[in-house]
Amino acid sequence: MEPLTNHIEALLATKDYEELTKTERDQVTQSCGQQEYEQLRQVILSGQSLAEAPTPPPSLKANLMKAFRQKHQRRNIPLHSLTLPFWQAAAIAACMVLMGQFVRFGPVYAHPPAMAWEANDSIWFKKVTQIVADTALAVFSADDQLKAPKDSEAAIAVTDTRHLPAEKLLPQPVSDTPGWARRSALGTVENAPLLLMVH
Amino acid sequence: MPDQKQSKAIPTDEELMQRIQRGQESAFNALYDRYSQRMYRYFYRMLGQSAEMAHDFTQELFLKIIEQPEAFDTQRRFSTWFYAVAGNLVKNEYRRKAKQPLQAPLEEANTASASIGALPDLDAEVRKAYIEKAVQALRPHHRECFLLRYQEGLAVQEISEIVDCPPGTVKSRLHYSLKKLNELLSCVLGPNA
């Protein structure tokens, strides 16, 4: 028996001799002959007939599906069963607060020109000096209760802002707003010492 | 158009494996339905027609998918990889037994051939049993190629990737197995049968 060519082998796997075209029959005749082709075809068909049986038992599938569920349920851990050490929870909370600050105020030095503008702002300057003077009065009043404030201090305290140029005025923050909102309206906290130094 | 839609709706083996890697149970179910029967009968014939062994090996094969789905590279062809894994399991079993007891002696098959050939009308079940026996009489390498090619309908190139040898070797094995089966089954399948 001669070794089969690819083409003949492919024909054997798919076609009976009667189904071959004339050209294919000629090729078969040259290769192995009709009788041998039919015999080999029978052998191949017998091999294909083996594909009908047997079948796996249903219990096999049930076992495997159960194994699959057990394996993958371990991967999908429900959130409510998670427990974290305190430091991890605190670190997560701190990160979230920082993220919130970043979203709210942006980067710390995102607007550097605003500092220079605020440094020349008379309203800002007046507010700062007012705070300094009030603080000083509150601190030193115990010692100098009977002493009247100096003229310069009084002058600072009662500075009239009505004659200041309106275009340089910042919107006045409402006094009862919380600290974070006031800082937001006046500028970042980091600006305050810088402004004092400029003036 | 409906055919195109249908083909789009049916996921490929590789897509199913991707889903299995993500832990999707339905994908495993679908893949099992596609391959369980094929793999079961492959093991059944490669392991001496033992239903028990076929059951155990099929289970072991699918457990490999469950335990290590990432072992399959989704860029590869799934069927090739799967049959290769199955073939390795069979080879390991052969090695474990340190011999090949699953190969029935050829002389026995030839004797059977002569006796069955003498029967004038061969019952279909008996004929089938004889074919099974003749296939079992093949050497394991030849049997593997024969079953993959003619029972499972795989291409020669794919078989060569599964058994990890050149296509020429696969063709040679196919040729030998056909020749041997032709000898063994001539009295059963021939015009006198």
Q: Reply yes or no on whether the pLDDT at A153 is more than 70.
A: no
Give the tokens for residue A143: 């010692």
Question: Given this model, what pLDDT does residue B193 score?
Answer: 45
Which chain A residue lies closest to B56 (C-alpha atoms)?
Answer: A60
pLDDT (average), residues A1-8? 66
B36 to chain A: which residues are within 8 Å by CB? 56, 60-61
B181 to chain A: which residues are within 8 Å by CB? 43, 46-47
State the average pLDDT for chain A.
71
A63 to chain B: which residues are within 8 Å by CB? 59
Say which residue, A75 or A97, is predicted with more confidence: A97
Q: CB of B171 within 8 A of CB of A6?
A: yes
Q: CB of B77 within 8 A of CB of B152?
A: no
Angle, helices B124-136 vs B167-189, to 10°: value is 140
Confidence of residue A120 (pLDDT cuts 50, 70, 90): low
Question: Given this model, what pLDDT does residue B119 score?
Answer: 43
Reported ipTM: 0.75
B175 to chain A: which residues are within 8 Å by CB? 1, 3-4
pLDDT in tens, B33-42: 999 998 998 8
pLDDT (average), residues A11-30? 83
Residue B36: closest CA among B19, B14, B15, B60: B60
**Is the CB of residue B124 less than 8 Å away from at least one CB of chain A?**
no
Say which residue, A71 or A53, is predicted with more confidence: A71
B182 to chain A: which residues are within 8 Å by CB? 1, 39-40, 43
Q: Reply yes or no on whether the pLDDT at B61 is more than 90.
A: yes
Q: Reply yes or no on whether the pLDDT at A34 is more than 70.
A: yes
pLDDT in tens, B42-56: 898 888 888 888 999
pLDDT (average), residues B77-88? 91
Q: Reply yes or no on whether the pLDDT at B125 is more than 90.
A: no
Determine whether the interchain pair A4/B150 forms a contact, defined as Cβ–Cβ distance below 8 Å. Answer: no
pLDDT (average), residues A80-103? 82
pLDDT in tens, B147-170: 888 888 888 889 999 988 898 899
Q: B64: burial class by Cβ within 10 Å (0-12, 13-18, 19+)?
A: middle
Could you identify the residue written with the tokens 């055919």? B3
Q: Which of A56, A60, A69 sits opposite B25 (nearest CB)?
A: A69
Q: Phi and psi of B11, rounded to 5°?
A: -75, 150
pLDDT in tens, A172-199: 554 555 566 556 555 554 444 444 444 4
Q: Reply yes or no on whether the pLDDT at B191 is more than 90.
A: no
Q: CB of B180 within 8 A of CB of B137?
A: yes
Q: Alpha-carbon distance B144 to B39, whole Å?
A: 12
Q: CB of A37 within 8 A of CB of A17?
A: yes
Confidence of residue A106 (pLDDT cuts 50, 70, 90): low
Question: Given this model, what pLDDT does residue A196 score?
Answer: 47
Minimum distance, in Å, between the CA of residue B182 and any CA atom of chain A: 6
Q: Phi and psi of A189, rounded to 5°?
A: -65, -35
Q: Alpha-carbon distance A146 to B125, whole Å?
A: 126
Determine whether the interchain pair A50/B185 forms a contact, defined as Cβ–Cβ distance below 8 Å. Answer: no
Say which residue, A164 or B15, is predicted with more confidence: B15
**Is the CB of residue B47 less than 8 Å away from at least one CB of chain A?**
no
- Kindly report the pTM of this predicted structure: 0.58
Minimum distance, in Å, between the CA of residue B2 and any CA atom of chain A: 28
**Is the CB of residue B60 less than 8 Å away from at least one CB of chain A?**
no
Q: Which of A13, A56, A68 sits opposite B37 (nearest CB)?
A: A56
